[in-house]
Amino acid sequence: MTNIENPQALEGVRVLDISGPAGFYCTKLMADMGADVVRVDPPDAAVDCYPGPFYGGESDRDHSIYRWHYHTN
């Protein structure tokens, strides 16, 4: 049987994501469709952008389960 590759809809497209929480889902969908998404966060990004629940009791953006869900690519 021949293995045929099907390119993804946004393969080869690069997206610069400077959005806030309202745009996270959109860029997640674009990444799931093959786009290369580059997310830019300010160094002092507020915890408000990455709400809980938090993994391990640490309330910072690196432990936000919300962030892990939307930034999977």
- Is the predicted pLDDT of residue 39 greater than 90, yes or no? no
Q: So what's the pLDDT on residue 11?
A: 93
The larger pLDDT score, comparing residue 3 to residue 7, is at 7
**Measured between alpha carbons, how far is 39 from 56 in angstroms, rounded to an integer?**
24
User: What is the Cα–Cα distance from 47 to 44, expressed in whole angstroms?
Assistant: 9
Residue-range domain boundaries for the chain: 14-70
Given this model, what pLDDT does residue 41 score? 77
What percent of the chain lies above the pLDDT cut of 70? 79
Quick check: pTM over 0.75?
A: no
Segment 22-43 mean pLDDT:
87
